[in-house]
Chain A
Amino acid sequence: MRVPPGVTPSTFAAALAQFTQVVGKEWVFSSDQDLALYRDAYSPFLNEPEERWAAAAVAPASSAEVQQLVRVANEQRIPIYPISTGRNLGYGGAAPAWSGSVVVDLKRMNRIIEVNEKQAYALVEPGVSYFDLHQYIQEHKLKVWIDCPDPGWGSLIGNAIDRGGGYTTAAHRNHFDSHCGMELVLPSGELLRTGMGAIPDSKTWQSYKTGCGPWVDGIFSQSNFGIVTKMGFWLMPEPEAYLRCTVAVPRYSDLSPLVDTLSYLESSRTTQGFPDIESPLIGYPPIGQIQLWNETGPPNFSEEHHRLLGGVTQGYSPELEAFGLKSGIPYWRLWLSFYGPMEVIEAQWRATQRRFAAIEGASFKVVNRLELPVDPATIENFHEPELGVPSLRIFSLGGRTPWNPTPSHGHMWFSPIIPRTGAAILEANRVFSAAARDLDMPLFRSFTLPACFWERCFVFILATPVTADPATNKRYREGFKKLIEIGGQHGWGEYRTAPVFQKAVMDVYSFNNHALQRLHETLKDAIDPNGIMSPGRYDIWPRHLRGVKS
């Protein structure tokens, strides 16, 4: 029997017996064979002593059972670690942040409590995946869309409280921002509802976010102050039509005006869909087509094009630019999408073209014009999440394909937030490509373009592979931490990270002698005085472990 650190075997056995009374024998797991299923399949410590293991796992079916489990954990001082679907691969999976914690597996709490078509919201439990909610909406022929991440088998709640992102409109892509109302079990075992849900028999829990008084929802994301057992989400009314368009510009120096114009158009809500920047000339795909490149292969370049790409620095050479101008291959291409009534979105696209036309040589194309809804066979021709449909196609990234004959064992995402400017793209490329070279990490194509999941900023995503070789993984882990530190030196910080790197990332958020981290600890001590809940998550440790484990 595995035992949590600091807990005696007899105490743990008694706690497991009490857990069993709550959920039944079938839903308490303590054999090594069963606990292996709670390992992080993409752990950067794969098969090493430091890899995170659970001491047990327990799977409740209701908020009431969660309350009872938490009360037992509090009485017996057992560290617990809630997971929703355990599918945030690359960010920790189902494994606890602190080895020896008991995973509280919420997958069985899979009720879709309400989908309100007229008010366009859903209320769900943590075990509900994007696939589940999408299928429910299809089955019930409801005219609402979800916004889902890649891949789509994760939990709405888990992804939102990990602050993940999706691919439809700006109002929905930020999954934490698009939530409305939470129900939580606090470390004391007490049940709490936030926002308007704090009113008994509230009529507007999913219609007004903040209620009255301090709005506390944010402290329950990327933290360890409670177990979210229900959460509301605003959905998008099914749009009447969809336009997918491109803006292509010819020169390297066009990147800055391209980004600045995009910022204006997005901040003024002239465009709403996921903006996606590619470089046809450098050969860097738009995020929405990465899976397509993995499935059918990257574009074929001419011999001359290949040769010129060998001579670029920061994605540039005068010869490559001249070749692009001569061949009609744009340096940059921005993909934009519009959702709404056709006459509205066509007007938005016209205004968009007018603004971009200030860039000399800009050219425009409508790639798709759809009257919605469309059938599933049509949706397969798109990056499905941009049409609100979950998919697992993203597993072509890292998986075996004709262009990737050696699949990885997983990956870890290095993903700092950088400013929404062309200059920041160039600086991030300069800084991180030099670092990757020094650290001997295989992070870079010749140039990397950032993602636009959230308004007002970029996220500069670099995938670091997890291999079967511990020595290589060690080098990559250390390199990853160095990248975090280098990012911090430039004023950039990660938006989210796996437990292995949470201390390194939070150390970057150090303004005024780590005032923010100290506030997190103050909250931890007040809300969870026994320190039972997810010790170490986002480097928030209970008092008795502070300075010992972190």
Chain B
Amino acid sequence: MSPQDLPADLGAARPWRPGKIFRWLALTLMPVLAALFGGGVILWAVGVDPLNYYGTVAGRGLLSPSGVQQTLTRMAPLLFLAAGLIVAFRAGLWNLGVDGQFLLGAVAAAASAPALAAILPSGAAILVAFSLAALVGAAWAMLPALLKAYGGVNEIVSTLMMTFLGVSLANLVVKLGLRDPETTVPQTRTLPVEDRLPRLFETTVSSGLLLGLFTIILVHLAMTRTAFGLRLRVMGVNPRAAIHAGLDLPWLTICAFALSAGLAGAAGAIEVLGIQGNVRADWNPAYGLLVVPTVLLARLNGFAAVGFVLLLSVLSIGGESAARRTGVPSAFTFVLVALVLVVLACSEYLDRRARNTPEGAA
């Protein structure tokens, strides 16, 4: 045992060593760059100039005034989804049903907001519709939550199955129950622009962006600085230690699901109240499965997630524009995100192996 192992410097904080920063960069930015490079190879192979494509994406998603406003607006629901996923993942629960929860939340908001706006002041109507969406999202996760908490049923399967049901149910409700009689397109009644979430200053950016930033930072602090967050994390990293410490696992599981799905439902409300104004039948942006790798890439850190959500927004907004200009389908964004995930998994594996080898040999 060498002298520096002695407990004299136990309290010494040493947050950022150069090696740590380098590792973080290597493990975080490298996968992104490698994925962009891999995507470039694919584009080149199908006969598209990668530089032209990426130039268009960056130009439309980040550099043009209207593009950047769209990008920032797109971030709002993604931030809520990321916050919801952080809660679940930190608690060790794979809530992969966020798309269903999102869509049902969106429908709840779209159905209630126009009616509420007629009887309440606009701010109150938005608040009530927003809360209702969160409740509907949370309610949709209760079945998987109860099954997991009391039956040990794998939540990956149950939440994924519930998402199929949720998407179909949202569709059905729009087509059968809430269809706006004044249009031929099957969609809900459109919320007038003046009753929607206000826009920021003189731009088209929805104030949902601020709500999203506020929410994800609040969630981050709750997970890292509160007793409740620590209980969820203990359950996430070692459920048996949580039982041994006397934590009420079923209750924590239900709470984590309710929060996670509630935030996903709120994401749907933000999209409807801030951007769309209504829900069309067959509409399913499937943001949830794009945000999952984003949150993992951010290592469940709320602040890092903001950065990666921005990147995702740029890719998806820019990708939609580039689709029109270069003929590359906008689904290519999915390819890029998938590549990030693959590279991330590989680098994580290599990092773990590299770190374990010296210990195993010692």
Do A and B bind? no
Chain B contacts to A: CB under 8 angstroms: none
Chain A contacts to B: CB under 8 angstroms: none
